[in-house]
Amino acid sequence: MEKIVPLIDYGHLDFGENKVQEAIEKWSKIKLTKKEISLHLIGRLQTNKVKFAVKIFDYIHSLDSLKLAKKIADEEIKLGKKNKIFIQVNLANEAQKSGIPLSQLEELFNYSLSLNLNIIGLMCIPPELEDPKKYFIKLKKLNDKLGLKELSMGMSADFMEAINNQATFIRVGSKIFGSRI
């Protein structure tokens, strides 16, 4: 908290969290008094955490399955809330990473729209040891094809390349706060 409060006081309004439980602990009180803050879930969302995530987060950057889409839609109806959602695409088919395989993207996109989810863009995390540029270019083309406006891509190590490829949301936590311990 000691690192977050000065940023809030300075006027920073968008913050990302990887884990739902950590977000609840850190942000529940702050969000009651600072309604202008937008909280972004940038980590994997498990279906058993959806009810908590939909409530505290404003953006979800990690929709990656039909089952998760349905759970989010059901919870939004219960809470009367609309989150801004990115579909996470696993462009390199990395087994250790979340994200919908490219071959299933259109199906998830269309299903999400049928559930009235507010899909605003796509998200990807390129392979760590490869040049991210080709993945950012590919995601931008997919985003355009689907008619989406926002792109969530780029982290502390590659955010400039992401910006050069029209990212509208970047994740630079370790550049600001340092590496997680």
Domains (range + CATH), the chain: 4-176 (3.20.20.10)
Burial of 173 (0-12, 13-18, 19+ CB in 10 A): middle
Q: How far is residue 148 CA from its own chain's centroid?
A: 15
Query: And the tokens for 101?
Result: 């395989």
Per-residue confidence (pLDDT) for residue 5, from 0 to 100: 78
pTM, entire model = 0.92
Tens-digit pLDDT string for the chain (181 aa):
567 777 888 888 999 999 999 999 999 999 998 889 999 999 999 999 999 999 999 999 999 999 999 999 999 999 999 999 999 999 988 888 899 999 999 999 999 999 999 999 999 999 988 999 999 999 999 999 999 999 999 887 888 898 999 999 988 765 555 565 5
Per-residue confidence (pLDDT) for residue 176, from 0 to 100: 58
Per-residue confidence (pLDDT) for residue 165, from 0 to 100: 92
16 touches 40 (CB < 8 A): yes
**CA gap 140, 6 in Å, rounded:** 34
Count CA atoms within 13 Å of residue 172 on its CB side: 13
